[in-house]
């Protein structure tokens, strides 16, 4: 991860230079004149106009008084329409082009300090990489970007704006790391221990093992766990950023609640998945990963809010002790479930954790995140996650935060007719509702454990990881939801 510094505009003598250029605007005059107009000529020849997402690299430019390795120009789009997300994406694009440069200077002096900070944040988000298990990679293949200097007219303001953004980026990195870790390393107990590390940020962390879960009556979650040699855990993380201040409004005392599905590996259980692509199911703890990263982000930037994060951690495996299709389990709510398909395990985990959450915390709202269904991928593909909610205002706030952060949500319906698909002949419900509307019936299942509280469910099966690079998100674990929910909190629930 590169180090970032903010400094007053001055043309660097060595290294690489990134020019952020709005549509139709000329390159930085100081740089262009040092190149005797060569930069402008090169950009013109490349038909670079500053459109959003456009980029152009000039290698070894002839500059008077400087020996630079390369100049990259990145388009910002229309000057009047540059958003925080746009600035982050320009930074991300620049970072990808500068990956092999040890030191880069980014000319952001045309931008307000907050956007200069966003450029740095976008660069960090793109430059992140998980290389714990690479041992033979040659230096000539490794990224080199170590130091970035962002030029800005108000370095102090940019530095101040950057600090909370860097805390959120650290939360994103934590999530990406957790999701990337292989399941032989990151089993439920290990993931719980990683949550424990949040104590260093002032987060209170409680870990529940099988004994405690049994006492709480978590029959649905324990049913999923029983086929695995790895014990389940539930972790409850508390961040009290608003609670203790004098004069804090009473409603600010009740926490916001975030709940994550944490299946560290989903083989399907006895209803086992086909071999092709099964390796992707190490990512089935993506919802939990996002909740952990979000709690780290909120604590890291000392958000003035009370929040709890709950994650249900299990491994779904087939074995002689595994649950069977047709088993009936009793949930913490007292409702019983006929397990028709052991591969519909995420909803069983959430049923108990969601019930426990509303009962213990009476939160202002509950938002759960889960890589819950293949059906949401069929419905929405990989660009939008699905949001299901019993609360129109919350749903709207979520969708707006999604637009602002690029972690987009599409609202899906809920309703009686879908709920009926869960009718069981032997128990209060079954855990699958058939193929039609598969993402919706999964949401309906969870809603039966919400107890009428304000709630939203994000089905992130299509967005928790990606098979291709995006401006600020290298391929792999995306940490979808961390920036979105941090933004939701910042825009509506602080102070
Ligand atoms: N973890 C999967 C959902 C999933 C599938 C996430 C593909 C990401 C990519 C979930 O536990 C599951 O297996 N769901 C089943 C439900 C079905 C048995 C009703 C599914 O979607 O096929
Ligand atoms: Mn499954
Ligand atoms: Zn699953």
Asked if 71 and 58 count as a contact pair (C-beta separation under 8 A), the reply is: yes
Distances (CA, A) of 103 to 4, 66, 127, 143, 163: 10, 14, 13, 12, 21
pLDDT, mean of residues 7-28? 97
| Residue 365 within any structural domain of the chain | yes
Distance CA 65, CA 153 (A): 23
pLDDT, mean of residues 196-216? 98
**What confidence tens digit (pLDDT) does each residue in 268-316 have?**
999 999 999 999 999 999 999 999 999 999 999 999 999 999 999 999 9
- Judge if 109 and 78 occupy the same domain: yes
Residue 415 lies in domain: 167-492
SS3 (DSSP) at 201? helix
Distances (CA, A) of 241 to 69, 162, 253, 456, 486: 46, 20, 10, 23, 14
* 8-state DSSP, 142: S
Q: Is there a catalytic annotation at residue 347?
A: yes
Distance CA 178, CA 287 (A): 11
Segment holding 375, helix H or strand E: helix 374-380
Q: Is there a catalytic annotation at residue 273?
A: yes
- Judge if 178 and 319 occupy the same domain: yes
**What confidence tens digit (pLDDT) does each residue in 327-375 have?**
999 999 999 999 999 999 999 999 999 999 999 999 999 999 999 999 9
| Residue 161 within any structural domain of the chain | no
Determine if ligand 1 sits within 6 Å of the CB of residue 431: no
* 8-state DSSP, 280: G
Q: For 452-476, b where at least 16 C-beta lie within 10 A, e where not — what string?
A: ebbbbbbbbbbbbbbeeeebbbbeb
- Judge if 142 and 204 occupy the same domain: no
Q: CATH no. for residue 25?
A: 3.40.220.10
Residue 246 pLDDT greater than 90, yes or no: no
- Judge if 325 and 206 occupy the same domain: yes
In this structure, what token pair is assigned to residue 254? Answer: 């009740």
Residue 377 pLDDT greater than 80, yes or no: yes
Ligand 2 centre to CA of 37 (Å) is 59
Determine if ligand 1 sits within 6 Å of the CB of residue 195: no
Ligand 2 centre to CA of 359 (Å) is 26
- Judge if 145 and 172 occupy the same domain: no
Cα angle, residue 453 at apex, residues 452 and 459 outer, rounded to 5°: 95
| Residue 432 within any structural domain of the chain | yes
For residue 268, which atom of ligand 1 is closest to its CA? 13
SS3 (DSSP) at 443? helix
pLDDT, mean of residues 188-199? 98
User: Which percentage of the chain shows pLDDT scores above 70?
Assistant: 98
- Judge if 187 and 150 occupy the same domain: no
Q: What ligand is nearest to the CA atom of residue 437? A: 1
Distance CA 184, CA 186 (A): 6
Helices 482-492 & 286-300 angle (0-180, nearest 10):
40
Determine if ligand 1 sits within 6 Å of the CB of residue 461: yes
For residue 435, which atom of ligand 1 is closest to its CA? 19
Asked if 233 and 313 count as a contact pair (C-beta separation under 8 A), the reply is: yes
Segment holding 419, helix H or strand E: helix 416-420
Strand partners, 441: none
Q: Give me the pLDDT at residue 495, please.
A: 74
Please name the residues in contact with 449: beta carbons below 8 A apart, sequence gap of 6 or more.
331, 333, 335, 350, 351, 352, 354, 355
Q: In 104-254, where does DSSP find H-type helix?
A: 113-127, 155-180, 188-196, 210-215, 219-225
- Judge if 109 and 243 occupy the same domain: no
Asked if 135 and 165 count as a contact pair (C-beta separation under 8 A), the reply is: no
DSSP 168-191: HHHHHHHHHHHHHS-TTTS-HHHH
- Judge if 332 and 470 occupy the same domain: yes
Distance CA 16, CA 26 (A): 19
- Residue of 126, 347, 408, 453 with catalytic role: 347
Domain end point (choices 123, 154, 185):
154
Q: Give me the pLDDT at residue 247, please.
A: 56
Residue 250's pLDDT band, with cuts at 50, 70 and 90, is: low
Q: CATH no. for residue 262?
A: 3.40.630.10
* 8-state DSSP, 422: T
Using alpha carbons, select from 192, 198, 188, 310 the residue that is nearest to residue 260: 310
Ligand 1 centre to CA of 265 (Å) is 12
| Residue 160 within any structural domain of the chain | no
CA dihedral sign, ordered 350, 355, 356, 361? positive
| Residue 358 within any structural domain of the chain | yes
| Residue 49 within any structural domain of the chain | yes
Determine if ligand 1 sits within 6 Å of the CB of residue 466: no
Strand 336-339 versus strand 327-330 pairing type? antiparallel
- Judge if 97 and 178 occupy the same domain: no
Residue 244 pLDDT greater than 60, yes or no: no
Torsion of CA 25, 27, 28, 29, to 10 degrees: -100
Please name the residues in contact with 441: beta carbons below 8 A apart, sequence gap of 6 or more.
418, 419, 421, 422, 432, 433, 434
Domain end point (choices 120, 154, 188):
154
Residue nearest to atom 7 of ligand 1 (CA): 374
| Residue 159 within any structural domain of the chain | no
Ligand 1 centre to CA of 369 (Å) is 14
- Judge if 86 and 180 occupy the same domain: no
- Judge if 94 and 178 occupy the same domain: no
| Residue 179 within any structural domain of the chain | yes
Backbone angles phi, psi at 314, to 5 degrees: -145, 165
**What confidence tens digit (pLDDT) does each residue in 167-187 have?**
999 999 999 999 999 999 999
Q: How many domains does the chain have?
A: 2
Residue 248's pLDDT band, with cuts at 50, 70 and 90, is: low
SS3 (DSSP) at 197? helix
Backbone angles phi, psi at 133, to 5 degrees: -110, 15
Q: Give me the pLDDT at residue 1, please.
A: 83
CA dihedral sign, ordered 6, 9, 15, 18? positive
Strand runs labelled E in 300-383: 306-316, 327-330, 336-339, 365-370
SS3 (DSSP) at 228? coil
- Judge if 129 and 188 occupy the same domain: no
């Amino acid at each position: 991860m590169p180090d970032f510094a903010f400094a007053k505009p001055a043309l660097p003598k060595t290294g690489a230079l990134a020019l952020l250029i709005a549509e139709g605007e000329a390159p930085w005059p100081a740089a262009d004149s040092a190149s005797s107009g060569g930069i402008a000529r090169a950009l013109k020849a490349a038909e670079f106009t500053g459109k959003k997402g456009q980029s152009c690299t000039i290698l070894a430019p002839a500059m008077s008084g400087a020996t630079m390795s390369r100049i990259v120009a990145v388009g910002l789009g229309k000057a009047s329409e540059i958003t925080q997300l746009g600035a982050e994406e320009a930074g991300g694009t620049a970072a990808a082009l500068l990956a092999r440069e040890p030191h880069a200077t980014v000319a952001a002096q045309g931008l307000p300090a907050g956007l200069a900070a966003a450029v740095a944040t976008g660069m960090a988000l793109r430059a992140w990489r998980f290389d714990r298990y690479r041992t033979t990679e040659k230096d000539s293949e490794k990224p080199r970007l170590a130091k970035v200097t962002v030029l800005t007219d108000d370095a102090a303001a940019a530095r101040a704006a950057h600090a909370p953004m860097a805390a959120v980026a650290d939360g994103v990195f934590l999530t990406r790391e957790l999701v990337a870790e292989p399941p032989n390393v990151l089993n439920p107990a290990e993931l719980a221990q990683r949550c424990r590390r949040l104590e260093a940020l002032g987060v209170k962390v409680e870990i529940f093992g099988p004994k405690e879960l049994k006492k709480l009556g978590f029959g649905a979650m324990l049913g999923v766990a029983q086929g695995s040699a790895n014990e389940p855990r539930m972790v409850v993380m508390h961040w009290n950023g608003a609670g203790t201040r004098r004069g804090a409004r009473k409603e600010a005392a009740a926490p916001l609640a975030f709940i994550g599905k944490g299946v560290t590996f989903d083989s399907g259980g006895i209803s086992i998945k086909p071999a092709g692509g099964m390796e992707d199911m190490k990512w089935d703890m993506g919802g939990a990963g996002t909740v952990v990263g979000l709690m780290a982000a909120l604590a890291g930037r000392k958000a003035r809010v009370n929040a709890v994060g709950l994650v249900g951690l299990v491994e779904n495996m087939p074995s002689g002790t595994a649950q069977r299709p047709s088993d009936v389990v009793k949930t913490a709510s007292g409702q019983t479930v006929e397990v028709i398909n052991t591969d519909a395990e995420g909803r069983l985990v959430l049923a108990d954790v969601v019930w426990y959450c509303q009962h213990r915390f009476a939160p202002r709202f509950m938002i759960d995140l889960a890589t819950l269904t293949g059906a949401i991928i069929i419905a929405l593909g990989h660009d939008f996650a699905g949001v299901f909610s019993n609360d129109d205002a919350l749903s709207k706030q979520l969708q707006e935060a999604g637009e602002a952060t690029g972690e987009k949500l599409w609202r899906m319906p809920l309703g009686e007719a879908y709920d009926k698909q869960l009718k069981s002949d032997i128990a209060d419900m079954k855990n699958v509702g058939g193929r039609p509307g598969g993402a919706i019936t999964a949401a309906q299942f969870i809603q039966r454990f919400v107890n009428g509280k304000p709630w939203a469910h994000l089905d992130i099966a299509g967005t928790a990881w990606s098979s291709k690079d995006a401006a600020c998100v290298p391929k792999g674990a995306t940490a979808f939801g961390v920036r979105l929910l941090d933004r939701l909190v910042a825009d509506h629930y602080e102070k």
